[in-house]
Amino acid sequence: MKNLKKLLIFIPITSLFLLTGCFGDTTVVNSGEDLANFKTYTAPSFTVGIPNQWETIEPKDFSSDIPNETQVIFRDNIKSDIFTPNANIAKVILGQQMSTYDFARNEISKNRNSLLNYDEISRDEEFNIAIGGQMAKTILILFEGKLSEVDPKVRMIQVYAVNGADAYTVTAAYRADSSELVSTAAKNIVKSFKIK
């Protein structure tokens, strides 16, 4: 939980890092095998696909240091002493009207300024996300960085969505040296997010 807490410290500061990667099409999963290994998590206002083997941590099970903005956390069941791959969905209430695209750009800037060794790997500024049955333009970003000099370099993929005054940040994080299987799972989680 220590590594998860470190990542979640970013939530109020960066609204969970925006990762816009040039990942090709917007297909959520890559093959029938990938689809068979995913399940849908349904909340009152959104859905997201997660790997079958990942655990779900809901607000009733959060420790007191998890920010209030966090709606749900998903964590790989293969734990690591260094960093366990995880994903989370954060929601903030906007004080002013803002498009999904503008919210994404603001959050990317916050990420760049809050992480050590920030490195943007890729960005897709034409990514579309489902919001209430309609598609909206947003940014999907892939980047890496560290919270402190002693922390491992963590790669994050992030997407944003705004529905009225509710602004969501979906982030999946994993070590930069993780397997392609882990990075693909992270990409699929983030790309599968939909607001009802």
* pLDDT tens digits, one per residue of 129-188: 999 999 999 999 999 998 888 888 899 999 999 999 999 999 999 998 888 989 999 999
Helices (H), 24-137: 32-36, 100-114
The CATH number of the domain holding residue 145 is 3.40.1000.10
Domain that holds residue 32: 2-195
pLDDT score, position 1: 46
Domain count, the chain: 1
Q: How many Å separate Cα 144 from the centre of its chain? A: 13
DSSP 115: S
Sheet holding 134-146, edge to edge: 38-42, 46-51, 194-195, 116-131, 134-146, 154-163, 166-175, 86-93, 70-75, 55-57
The pLDDT tens digits for 61-119 are 988 888 899 999 999 988 888 888 999 999 999 989 999 999 999 999 999 998 999 99
Q: Which residues of 162-191 are buried (b: 16+ CB within 10 A; e: fewer)?
A: bbeeebbbbbbbbbbebeeebbbbbbbbbb
Give the global pTM: 0.82
